[in-house]
Chains A and B, each alone.
Chain A
Amino acid sequence: MKPFAFERARNVDHALSLAAAAPGARFLAGGTNLLDLMKLEIEQPDTLIDVGRLPLADISETAGGGLRIGALATNSVVASDPRIRSRYPVLARAILSGASVQLRNKASMGGNLMQRTRCSYFMDPAMPCNKRLPGSGCSAMGGLSQATALFGASEFCAAVSASDMSVALAVLDAEVETVRADGSVRRRPVETLHRLPGDAPQVDTDLAPDELILAVELPPPPSGGQVWRKVRARASYIGALASVAVAGDRVALGAVAARPWRARATEAALAGGAAPSEAAEAELASASGEVGRKSLVRRLASDAIQESRKGGRS
């Protein structure tokens, strides 16, 4: 691990002023992804700003009937909250299907969203990767990666978001609230927090370096069943080959793009009266990638939509 300075943020303003003063700094919360990548020297920040003790861990009701989840609420706390379990079961299920208990106990709401978009070649410093070293090439093109992007990839990168949680947040129309050193507060949908790779795959999100996530806000849950499904290579504790979240008449796909992928074509087809299998196919019509994985996503989405119409599973 490269040497770095370590700053303990005393409050949000202190964290933001530290970030503004150190352009190469990164915010540190649970550290489960950032420290892993620093050990591999894939991430080499010169300063870590520890925001882990800031008072941003509350989960509270909003005036609009939704929930506001502080950026530092751990994944375990969020998935265990009775309000999340009863009103947003798709979110609880998505979180519980990710990582291990040890990691979920440490990983935060904001940190889960900020984990690096990646594929196995990004994690292997011996191999070319445009995301890790811009201009070095993409080993995933024609490579052995099992979970590459079906939607929104470019010739430079086909890495996918590894966050199960974000797929559920996208289907629930959740918004991310951030603040910058100049005091400006901004909200954006979780769905568009991450950018598509284009010709700059090294940039995962459109957050500025001094922009700190304060909270995620959930609007009231939509009517209708909620379903979470995840397919992977073993029973537990491994990333998705594909996932799908359904909430009412909304559908989002996971592990198929650099961001949680709202299946708008599927939603439009369902609104037009299409059968679940036809609606799933409508989204896959614009997908790139191998036939087998597209078939997996199509069948997974179709099954989840049908299950949601039976009321889902709490």
Chain B
Amino acid sequence: MRTEIRVNGVDHAVDVDTRTSLLDFLREHLDLKGSKKGCDHGQCGACTVLVNGVRINACLSLAVMHDGDHVTTIEGLASGEALHPLQQAFLTEDAFQCGYCTPGQICSAVGLMAEIAAGQPSEATADLNAKVVLTDAEIRERMSGNLCRCSAYPQILAAVRRAAGAAA
């Protein structure tokens, strides 16, 4: 089915099988292998990408659902040789071991920063009517859709805290 998608600033007009997930479209059709297939059921977060600036699981979406959308993957975050602040923070804090979940973690954290800037609450927010303060408990809750089987959670928390502190 004819579908037009902009990925990392590049327009693509393609004819895809309706069954193609957004994740498989990115990986197999565009050869953007940064987004990872972990569980393929929305449970691990390794496939997290940004669609129109909002983080979603690319495995639980069909490419044909994204006609006209703007998708950003891990490959689209850096500006030339300058890493995105979250990419740099993950390096600085050593926030990965095997690295398989890392692209999804970083895209998820980019979405998290936008959600905080927009004042969106989470389950960890004590007062729904007050300004959201990005505590460690908030970061942990908001990143709970991304699993890390190497269990680099303390370092991931530190990386998000570092990037968020720099942005605040």
Contact = CB atoms under 8 A, between A and B. Distances in A.
A and B from one complex: yes
Interface of A: 1, 3-6, 8, 28, 31-32, 35-36, 39, 48, 50, 52, 76, 79-80, 82, 85-86, 89, 92-93, 96-97, 99-103, 105-106, 235-237, 314
Contacts of A93: 123, 128
B118 interface: yes
B41 A6 contact: no
Nearest to B108: A102
B145 A103 contact: yes
B77 interface: no
Contact of A101 (B55, B118, B125): B55
Given A35-B60, A102-B48, 5 more contacts: A31-B60, A39-B41, A76-B115, A102-B57, A236-B140
A3 B20 CA distance: 10
Interface in B132-151: 140-142, 144-145
B54 A100 contact: no
Contacts of B144: 100, 235-237
Interface in B1-36: 1, 18-19, 21
A1 to B, nearest CB: 5
A101 B142 contact: yes
A96 B144 CA distance: 12
A32 B42 contact: yes
B60 A101 contact: no
A103 B57 CA distance: 7
B112 A101 contact: yes
B129 A86 contact: yes
Nearest to B21: A35
A101 B111 contact: yes
A106 B60 contact: yes
Contacts of B42: 32, 36, 100, 102-103
B85 to A, nearest CB: 20
Contacts of A102: 42, 45, 48, 55-57, 108, 111, 145
Contacts of A6: 1, 18, 62, 64
A48 B62 CA distance: 11
Contacts of A100: 42, 45, 144-145
A62 to B, nearest CB: 22
B67 to A, nearest CB: 7
Contacts, number: 102
Contacts of A48: 18
Nearest to B130: A314
A93 B123 CA distance: 7
Nearest to B18: A6
B54 A105 contact: yes
A286 to B, nearest CB: 31
Contacts of B129: 82, 85-86, 314
B92 interface: no
Contacts of A4: 18-19
A33 to B, nearest CB: 9
Contacts of A31: 60-62, 65
Interface in B33-71: 40-42, 45, 48, 54-57, 60-62, 64-65, 67
A82 B127 CA distance: 12
* Nearest 6 CB-CB pairings of A with B: A100-B145, A236-B144, A6-B18, A85-B128, A80-B120, A96-B123
B118 A106 contact: no
B76 interface: no
Residue among B55, B56, B125 with most chain A CB within 10 A = B56
Residue among B111, B121, B127 with most chain A CB within 10 A = B121
Contacts of A36: 41-42, 60
Contacts of A89: 128
Contacts of B111: 101-102, 105
A106 B121 CA distance: 16
Interface string B83-127: 000000000000000000000000010011001001111110101
B128 to A, nearest CB: 4
A48 B1 CA distance: 13
A115 B87 CA distance: 36
A5 B17 CA distance: 10
B61 A35 contact: yes
A28 B41 CA distance: 17
